[in-house]
Chains A and B, each alone.
Chain A
Amino acid sequence: QKEVEQDPGPLSVPEGAIVSLNCTYSNSAFQYFMWYRQYSRKGPELLMYTYSSGNKEDGRFTAQVDKSSKYISLFIRDSQPSDSATYLCAMSVPGGFKTIFGAGTRLFVKA
């Protein structure tokens, strides 16, 4: 079993839709949770990070962490065609430097 599981998709939504992206994990020691966006043939770009449980909002993006369920989510409001990319979740333990990534979910937003 992988430490971090992420549905690879693809997920296809119409422009303006609310998108929900999710990851589950098995290591209860993870405390730092990150979301990256990766366009084709480019390096990942950090979108948001959250420490421990709770919500964090940044513009159209909201990250949620539920440590009791070992489940994290990224919501994208008013999705745009420019949001079409692969979204990677990533996690680290405190004091650690090894970040574990999910496989990524491919998102397509249709105009």
Chain B
Amino acid sequence: DTGVSQDPRHKITKRGQNVTFRCDPISEHNRLYWYRQTLGQGPEFLTYFQNEAQLEKSRLLSDRFSAERPKGSFSTLEIQRTEQGDSAMYLCASSSPHGESSYEQYFGPGTRLTVT
């Protein structure tokens, strides 16, 4: 399977715990995006990487959130001191560096986080 993969698919955690999600993009894609999606809403942009550089971070991303993409390959999204409001689907997407194809984002299956 050469698509975007995410791990874990589901995560249940208690409020106050830290969680980390992983995303493996399509191998030739140098652009990687993280989104958050809540029920009945479209994905909301969180952050963007071009290779290993984090070029944009949404105001939605509080200081409790951090994302990394070492060596421009896989990426991790960490949430510290989780709150119930963090419960959502966290989606990762990647896109090609080439021309207009960069606007075609390919999504992974998402990680569903439930904070109890």
Expressed in whole angstroms, the minimum distance between the Cβ of B108 and any Cβ of chain A is 5
User: Closest residue of chain B to A44, judged by CB?
Assistant: B107
Instruction: Find out whether the CB atom of B40 lies under 8 angstroms from the CB atom of A8.
Output: yes
Centre residue among B103, B107, B112 by max chain A CB count within 10 A:
B103
Partner of A98, one of B42, B48, B102: B48
Expressed in whole angstroms, the minimum distance between the Cβ of B37 and any Cβ of chain A is 9
Q: How large is the interface on A (under 10, 10 to 19, 20 to 34, 35 or more residues)?
A: 20 to 34
A-chain residues with CB within 8 Å of residue B41 when the two chains form the complex:
103-104
User: Closest residue of chain A to B4, judged by CB?
Assistant: A43
A-chain residues with CB within 8 Å of residue B42 when the two chains form the complex:
4, 6, 88, 90, 101-104
B-side interface residues, number (CB < 8 Å): 27
- Report the separation of the CA atoms of residues A101 and B36 in the bound assembly, to the nearest whole angstrom: 11
19 A-B residue pairs with Cβ-Cβ distance under 8 Å, sorted by A, are A6-B42, A34-B103, A34-B104, A36-B107, A41-B110, A43-B91, A44-B91, A46-B107, A49-B103, A49-B104, A90-B42, A97-B50, A97-B55, A98-B58, A99-B33, A99-B103, A100-B45, A101-B42, A101-B43
Report which A residues bind B (CB closer than 8 A): 4, 6, 8, 32, 34, 36, 41-46, 49, 51, 88, 90, 92, 97-104
